[in-house]
Amino acid sequence: MLINYDNLAFDPGTNLLLSKLRIDFVFQPIFELKTMKIVAYEALMRHEKMSPTELIDEYGCTNHLHIIELASLFGATRKFLEHGYYKKLCGVRHT
């Protein structure tokens, strides 16, 4: 499911560019080799039609690279929390 950025309080132009960005995030676990416990997750950006490099190049050429940065920060964080990955990290207290 693609990330919805509608409830973020940015200027209308930024919100419009975010709404047109068709990306999602998947998470790759990072393990501690001695214990084989998951210690972190790496967020990987996925677009419907372009590779991450192609997407970054396209937005960079139009001086909109900050849109990719905002989408990555807010989108990956939202997806991380929605999937409950924080509960699977060793050494993290869950309240």
Q: For the chain, what is the radius of gyration of the CA atoms?
A: 15
Which pLDDT band, with edges at 50, 70 and 90, does 92 fall under? low
Measured CA to CA, the distance from residue 52 to residue 12 in angstroms comes to: 25
Question: pTM for the complete prediction?
Answer: 0.74
- pLDDT value of residue 2: 66
pLDDT in tens, 37-77: 888 889 999 998 999 999 999 999 999 999 999 999 988 88
